[in-house]
Amino acid sequence: MYGIQDCRIVSGNDEQNFRLETRRSGSFDWLLDLLINKELDYETQSRYDLVIRASDGGNPPNTAELNLEILLIDQNDNQPRFTLSRYHALIPENTTIGTSVLQVAATDDDDGENGKVTYYLDPQSERAKYFRVDPVTGVVRVNKPLDYETIPNFRVAIFAKDNGSSPQSASAALEIDLKNINELPANISLTFLQSDGNKTGKISENVRKGTLVARISITDPDSPKEYFDANITLLGGDGVFDLHESSGVVYLIVVSKPPDREVKPFYNLTVIATDAGEPPLHASYSFTIWIEDINDNDPVFTQQTYTAEIHEVAEPGTYVVKVSATDPDDGDNARIRYSISDRTPTSWFQIDSNTGLITTKSAIDCEIEAQPRLSVIASDGGETPRISSATVIITVRDVNDKQPEFDQSFYSASVPEDKAVGHCILQVKILFIVLRCTVWLLM
């Protein structure tokens, strides 16, 4: 009875994690087996300090105690845990490469390498390549240039993996939204509606009020919702053109009053689009609208009456006078040709149809007409020509180019003998001048 009678755990086994099993080994020796009584968890308690006591059957009994330290070896039985299931950040689109965006964090209840966490982004995602994460600290930084207009937001997975021999991992959602920066002005495109090929702005000068001239489209590569409350203005036009809004992004240039090509043959216009950013950005588009001529003007002579002098002995082709007319129209509508009206009674003169130079065509006779009048016509080259006329008065200077001629080669008269001295007895004509001759009776 004074041998070993009892062996038990007397301290450090409050949760009954261990138990003793005893068996005899001979007459005096006991073998003690310390068994795990329930599942152990390193993360809950990694060390146990047990006190095992053996006692004999004396009264009082004699005892002996054994201090037993039990250390648990960690197993990689826990996966990392992120502190958040979703991480979100809002950054400007012009954030530079290397800038910190946010920091993620994950923990692992395991110990040692099993509890050390390494971070990485989804390697299969193209969008994830715009960012990089520090594998140790979890700091996410910009890795490539960002552009709101190309990719406004990023939704990628971020992972945390422990360093165990059989690693465990966890994931979280990484959401990064870009804040649009007003970095680009509006885009302005223009289509001419009245021109062949829509490449050149042309309208006729007799166009009606309200005619559509061009369509303008306005787009902004920045966010339409944030910045595209744009102010659109039209510069130039002198009141001939106006800008009408068709929709929020389409504008029309219309004729507000008919143009006059002879006053102004073309108009330089500029459309300016100012967005609503801070600071606002301006875009401009300049273009020219040409006014096409119509034949709406008569030729105008520099004088309504031209005068000239010429001797009647002038040879054919002799210069007389030069007439000139102008036409404010354009092209063929302003190309003038000259002619002498068929109603002009004489054919002594001719005119160069291109220059307006009048020269003699044939011999001139002052005795037939001393001051001929020509009606000169200027006509333009329009499809329906317009004409005007002027008068050319030519004074023909007489020269002594003819000898006197009697209208008869022989004259006879009878005179009564009783006629007094001085009595006219005969009248004769020399050329066209009537000469009265007095034949004096001398006896």
Cα–Cα distance list, 347 to 49, 318, 342 (Å): 147, 14, 9
Average pLDDT over residues 277-301: 90
- CATH code at position 48: 2.60.40.60
Highest mean pLDDT among 122-136, 172-186, 217-231 belongs to 122-136
Note whether residue 76 is domain-resident: no
For β-strands 131-133 and 187-192, DSSP reports them as unpaired
373 in the same domain as 305:
yes
What is the reported pLDDT for 374?
A: 94
Residue 275 burial by Cβ neighbours in a 10 Å radius (0-12, 13-18, 19+): buried
259 in the same domain as 304:
no
Q: Which domain holds residue 278?
A: 187-292
**Closest among 212, 200, 284, 281 to 246, alpha carbons compared:** 212
Query: Is the pLDDT at 134 greater than 90, yes or no?
Result: yes
Low-confidence winner among 2-11, 328-337, 406-415 (lowest mean pLDDT): 406-415
Largest Cα separation within the chain, whole Å, is 228
Query: Is the pLDDT at 252 greater than 70, yes or no?
Result: yes
Q: pLDDT category, 400, cuts 50, 70, 90?
A: low
pLDDT tens digits for range 84-128: 999 999 999 999 999 999 999 999 988 889 999 999 999 999 999
Q: Could you write out the DSSP letters of every residue in 298-312?
A: --EES-SEEEEEEET
What is the reported pLDDT for 81?
A: 95
148 in the same domain as 191:
no
Helix (H) or strand (E) holding 226: helix 224-227
Number of domains observed in the structure of the chain: 5
155 in the same domain as 209:
no
Domain boundary pick from 179, 207, 226: 179
Does 92 sit behind a cis peptide bond, omega within 30 degrees of 0 on the bond before it?
no
What is the reported pLDDT for 228?
A: 58
329 in the same domain as 246:
no
413 in the same domain as 342:
no
281 in the same domain as 193:
yes
What is the reported pLDDT for 345?
A: 74
What percent of the chain is modeled with pLDDT above 90?
A: 58
109 in the same domain as 125:
yes
237 in the same domain as 207:
yes
